[in-house]
Amino acid sequence: MLSSTELRPQGDGGGGARIGTRAAWIVRRYWPSALLLFGSIAAWQALASVPAVDDLTLASPVEVAGAMRADGTLLLAQAQVTLVEVVLGLGVAFAAGAAAAVAMHLARPLREAAYPLLVASQAIPIVILAPLFVLAFDYGIGPKLAIVALICFFPITVNLLDGLRGVDPELLKLMRSLGASRLATLRRVELPSALPSLFSGLRVASTVSVIGAVFGEWAGADAGLGRLVLLGNNQLETPRVYAGIVILTLMAVTMFALTSLAERLLVPWSAGSAGGTRA
Amino acid sequence: MPAEGAMQTKLEAPMREPAPSSEVAVALDGVRRRYAHDDVVALDGLDLRVRRGEVVALVGPSGCGKSTLLELVAGLQEPDAGTVAVWGGCAARERLEACAYMPQRDLLLPWRSALDNAALSLECRGIRRGEARRRAAPLFQRFGLASFERSRPQALSGGMRQRVAFLRTLLAGSPVLLLDEPFAALDSITRGSMQEWLAGALANEPRTVVCVTHDVEEALFLADRVAVLSGRPGRVVTEIAVDLSRPRPRRETLTDPTFVSYRERALEALEC
C-alpha cells in the first residue's frame, strides 16, 4: 500500500511529490517496528507449531486469523460496543478533567485541598472498584463509562494542571503589564501554552481507556470485546480470545495515533510535532 | 496612498494623553528595593526624574537592579522605601495604566501570527480581535514589517521579532514606554540597525521612554539623557545630557567628537 503512494509522484508533480516524501518518511521511520512485529509473528507461529504446545494454550497467528474471518461479524459488533464505551468515557474524562484542572489552577485553596485526593484516587485498584460501580450503576454502559472516565481523568487533569502552572512567568508579567484580566490571560496565554502538556495526558489516557473498558466489562456486561474475551476463555475458544486481544490492541493504538494526529493539527508550534522542528 | 495611510495610523494607534499640566512623567525618590528571599538590596537611595517626551537610558553593570527599576516604574513591583510616581500617580494601577513595558525577551506567542502578536495589547484592553488586527495592520507598513503580518514568530529573524514586540508595546497606547535591554539578544550588526530603526520609530511616534541597556554606545545614541547606575545596590552615579538632536545618523554620530567625549565620561563613571 505504501509503495503505491510512493509511485504516484512521478505521475502528478508537486502535490504528489509531497505525499511521496511523506510516505518515504513513514517507511523510514517505521520499518524497524514493522520488521520487529513480523519477526514476532513469525516466532509466534513457529512456537505454536511445535507439537508439544497445546492448541488450547497458544493459538497460532494462522488460527487467530481464521477466527477473525469466521467470527468477523460477531467481533466487529462487540468491538463497536467497546469502542463506544472508550470514546464516551474519554469524553467524560476530558470534560471533567479539563474543568477540574482549570478550577484547581484558578483557585489555589482548591488545588491544595484536592491535589492529594486526586493522587490518592489513583492508588485505588480499578479491579476492585469495577464491581462496586456495577452495583451502583447497574449493568449497561453506566459503570463502563465511570471506570474509563476514572482511569483517564488522572493523566488528563494532572498534565493539564502542570501545563497551566508551567507557563513562563515572564509571559504572565507581560500580560499583567498589558492590563489583561485573569480570564484573558487564561484564554490567550495559559490554555494555549498548556496544550502540548494536555496532549501528553490525552495520549496516555487514550491508551489506558481501552484497559478501563475491558475491566468494566469483566465486572458485569452483556456485550463488548472484554466480555467476549472472558467468555471465550471460559469456553476454551483460544483463537477467538486472541482475536479479541488483537482487536483491543489495534483499538488502543488507533486511539493513540488519532490523539497524536489531533495534536499535530491543533498544536503545530509544539516541539513534539513535525512542523515545529522544521523551522 | 502611502501618505494617507500614514496619516490614518496616527489615529489608529492613539496614545492616552496624560494630564496636560504635568511636565514630569516619571519620578523616583529615595527608592529602595530589597529581595527578601536572597537578602539582596537591588536599589538603594535612587532618585530619577524623566520629563515628558524625554528618552532616558539607564546604563550600569550587570545585576545593578536596572530591570528591577523598570518593573517598579511599570507597577509590577513595589518599592520597600521611597516613592515611584508616573504622572504624579503612585498607585500600582495608575503606573500599570500609564506605562507600556517591553521585556528583555520578545515573548511572542508561537501560536499567533506576527500581526496577532502585536494586536495582543489591544485585545487585552477589551478590543475584539478583528478590530485589533485592523488597527495594528497599518503599523506593520510604517515600521518596516509589511508582508510579515501572517508570519509565525518562529519564522522571523531576531531583529524582526523585536520589531513585532516593540509594536505590541506601542499599541498598548501608553504615554510611557519602558524598554528592558531591547536588543541585548541580537548580534552586533543587527543591533546597530535596530537602534537606528528604534530612533526612527520614536521620531515617528514620540513617547516618553525609559530604556535600560548595558551598552554605553546604545544608550548615548538613543537617549536625550543617560543615567549611569552604580553596582549593587544601584543608585544614579552621574547623569549625562546628550546635546544632539534626535534621530541621529548612526555612523556620523558614533564618530562625532562630542559623542566620543560623552562616551569617555560614561565609561569613566561606570569604572568607579
| pTM for this entry | 0.82
Residues of chain A found within 8 Å of residue B74, distances taken between Cβ atoms: 177
Instruction: Indicate whether B116 pLDDT > 50.
Output: yes
pLDDT of residue B11: 38
User: For the purposes of burial, counting CB atoms within 10 Å of the CB of B271, is it exposed (0-12), middle (13-18) or buried (19 or more)?
Assistant: exposed
Q: Which chain A positions have a beta carbon within 8 Å of B75's beta carbon?
A: 177
DSSP B146: T
A218 CA to centre of own chain: 20
Convert the pLDDT of each residue in A1-23 to its tens digit: 344 433 343 434 444 556 678 88
SS3 B208: strand
* CB-based contacts of A260, cutoff 8 Å, min separation 6: A199, A203
Q: What pLDDT is recorded for position A29?
A: 86
pLDDT of A78-89, one tens digit each?
Answer: 999 999 999 999
CB nearest to A170's CB, from B96, B107, B121? B107
What pLDDT does A54 receive? 80
Q: How confident is the model at residue B19 (pLDDT cuts 50, 70, 90)?
A: low
In this prediction, residues A148-170 reach a mean pLDDT of 94
> Taking CB atoms and an 8 Å limit, are A179 and B96 in contact across chains?
yes
Query: CB contact, 8 Å: A265 with chain B?
Result: no
Confidence tier at A132 by pLDDT (50, 70, 90): confident
Q: How confident is the model at residue B227 (pLDDT cuts 50, 70, 90)?
A: very high
- Segment 156-175 of chain B within 8 Å of chain A by CB: 172
Section B49-56 average pLDDT: 93
**List of chain A residues whose C-beta atoms are within 8 Å of the C-beta of residue B154:** 269, 276, 279
Name the residue type at position A25. Answer: W
Is A178 in Cβ contact with B172 (below 8 Å)? yes
Contacts A171 to B, Cβ<8 Å: 107
**Which sign, positive or negative, has the C-alpha torsion B194, B200, B201, B206?**
positive
What is the full DSSP assignment across A37-100?
HHHHHHHHHHHHHSTTS-TTT---HHHHHHHHHHTHHHHHHHHHHHHHHHHHHHHHHHHHHHHH
pLDDT at A18: 67
pLDDT band at B47 (very low <50, low <70, confident <90, very high): very high
Q: Is A269 on the interface with B (CB under 8 A)?
A: yes
Look at residues B59, B58, B57, B29 and name the one whose alpha carbon lies nearest to residue B44: B29
Residues B117-127 have a mean pLDDT of 93
Q: Which residues contact B199 (CB under 8 A, 6 or more apart)?
A: B221, B222, B246, B247, B248
Instruction: Answer whether A173 sits within 8 Å of B172, measured CB to CB.
Output: no
Q: Which residues pair with B43 in a beta bridge?
A: B33, B234
Closest residue to B111, CB basis, from A177, A192, A279: A192
For A36-50, what is the mean pLDDT?
91
Q: Which residue of B has its CA nearest to A186?
A: B124
**pLDDT tens sequence across B54-103:** 999 999 888 778 889 999 999 999 999 999 999 888 898 989 999 999 99
Q: Report the pLDDT value the prediction gives residue B54, as an integer from 0 to 100.
A: 93
Whether residue B247 is preceded by a cis peptide bond, meaning omega within 30 degrees of 0, is yes
Higher pLDDT, B7 or A193: A193
pLDDT score recorded for residue A16: 53
Write phi, then psi, for A43 (nearest 5 degrees). -65, -40
Percentage above 70 pLDDT, chain A: 90
Number of H helices, E strands in chain A: 13, 0
Name the residue among B71, B75, B107 with its Cβ closest to that of A171. B107
Assess whether pLDDT exceeds 90 at residue B246. no
ipTM beyond cut 0.95: no
Find the closest chain B residue to A191 by CA distance: B111
Query: In angstroms, rounded to a whole number, what is the distance separating the alpha carbons of residues B28 and B35?
Result: 18
As a whole number, mean pLDDT of residues B107-116 equals 94
The DSSP secondary-structure symbol of B89 reads B
Give the Cα separation of B89 and A151 in Å (integer). Answer: 54
Give the pLDDT score at A271: 58
What's the pLDDT at B212?
94
pLDDT score of A268? 86
* Mean pLDDT, all residues of chain B: 86
Mean of the per-residue pLDDT values of chain A: 86
Question: Within a 10 A sphere around the Cβ of A147, how many other Cβ atoms?
Answer: 29
For chain B, what percent of residues have pLDDT higher than 90? 46
Mean pLDDT of A63-84: 92
Cell (9 digits) for B199: 530612533
Q: Which has more pLDDT, A134 or A16?
A: A134
Residue of B101, B111, B123 lying closest to A177 (CB–CB): B101
Answer yes or no: do A189 and B109 touch at CB < 8 A: yes
